[in-house]
Amino acid sequence: MRIEQLQAFLAVAETGNFGQAAQKCGVTQSTVSRQIQSLENDLGLPLFHRTAQAKLTLGGEHLLPHARKICQEWHSATQELAELMAGKQPELCVAAIHSVCSHYLPPILQQFCKNYPDVQLRVTALGSDRALKVLRDGLVDVAIVMNNRFLTASPEMIVDVLFNEPIEVLMAANHPLTQHEQVPWAELIQYPQVVFKDGYGMQRLVQERFSRFGAKLKAVMELNTLEAFRGVVRQGELIALLPKSALVEACTDPTLAVRAIANLPPSLTTPNNLVGNVSTSDSSLSRQVVMVTTQDRLLVPPIHYFCQLVRQLGLSSVNPPSSSEGNNCSDLSSHLTKKVMNYE
């Protein structure tokens, strides 16, 4: 059974004439006759009495209300899809990690709203693994997260690398590690840490790096908001490893301090050392932030435009300072503040 057969059936039922039905459907009369015959063969019973005026049989009368519902649903579906491809999408859902929501998305969201005022933006801050899961489940259109190749390996996934940024140490202003301009790994591993909860890319990144260096991560507490990290760390001994963009507020807080992590010296990156076979390029700690969507979503104009904005602003004007610029908190704060706009 095809939709064209039901449309022809409705046209004949409404006009009572095969010729008029053909005009209504925009096809020839012989085409309508073939479609009705084929439908009757599929159903195994006649639908019309072939008299001067085509009248419904008992079977045709039973089919009529169902055919109307099916054709109406088909019309609604095709209309919705046409509006979707024309850019009339009712909403666009984005899942992003917390620091991206705070410092990178605001100017992008504002620009998007100017060009698509009728599209409702819904932005949710989630951990990377959770954000990728809801993307795969079809609950969001775009995820901006830490890269996780295990969750983005599907052929339909489109992954754009946005930027890389260093991981640094958050500590209390009076913490012993503040004596270092760059904290050595030998000192870093001695202190208990606050880490992100399971499902956050940062927890996995830190755990993997400690494991590769043959060190034990002393994780004593799990949190999932930057405010909670700052509140706990300022109390005393606990430290936290966080991406540079997540430390903007901490840099202006006199009760907190931020320090870079020293690269491992070459002597510690040789295959014979206890910390494992780590290349010189792996001796620093950084994270890669990516934007992920699916091929079919990029065909929808609002989603395509949003992704273009993220690429343009995320790769150039919003890219954070590199680690080569040192650990100047004021530089980081002023750099990112210029990019932040109010999007409430």
pLDDT averages per 10-residue partition of the chain, 344 residues: 90 91 91 92 91 88 93 86 72 91 88 91 91 93 90 88 92 95 91 89 87 86 91 93 90 94 61 36 76 92 92 57 42 39 32
Q: Is the pTM of this model over 0.85?
A: no
pLDDT at 30: 92
Task: Return the CATH number at 293.
Answer: 3.40.190.10
Q: Flag whether 308 is in a domain.
A: yes
DSSP state of 165: E
Q: Which domain holds residue 316?
A: 91-163+288-326
- What single letter denotes the amino acid at residue 191? Y
| Buried residues in 114-151 as b, exposed as e (16+ CB within 10 A) | eebeebebebebbbbbbbbbebbeeebbbbbbbbbeeb
Burial class, 208, CB count within 10 angstroms (exposed 0-12 / middle 13-18 / buried 19+):
exposed
- pLDDT (0 to 100) of residue 87: 62
User: For residue 264, is it within any domain?
Assistant: yes
CB neighbours of residue 53 within 10 Å: 10
Write down the pLDDT at residue 292. 96
Pair 59, 154 in one domain: no
Query: Does residue 78 share a domain with residue 17?
Result: yes
Residue at 150 is within a domain: yes
User: Taking each helix axis from N to C terminus, what angle separates 29-43 and 3-15, rounded to the nearest 10 degrees?
Assistant: 110
Q: Which two tokens stand for residue 87?
A: 């850019």
Question: How many domains does the chain divide into?
Answer: 3
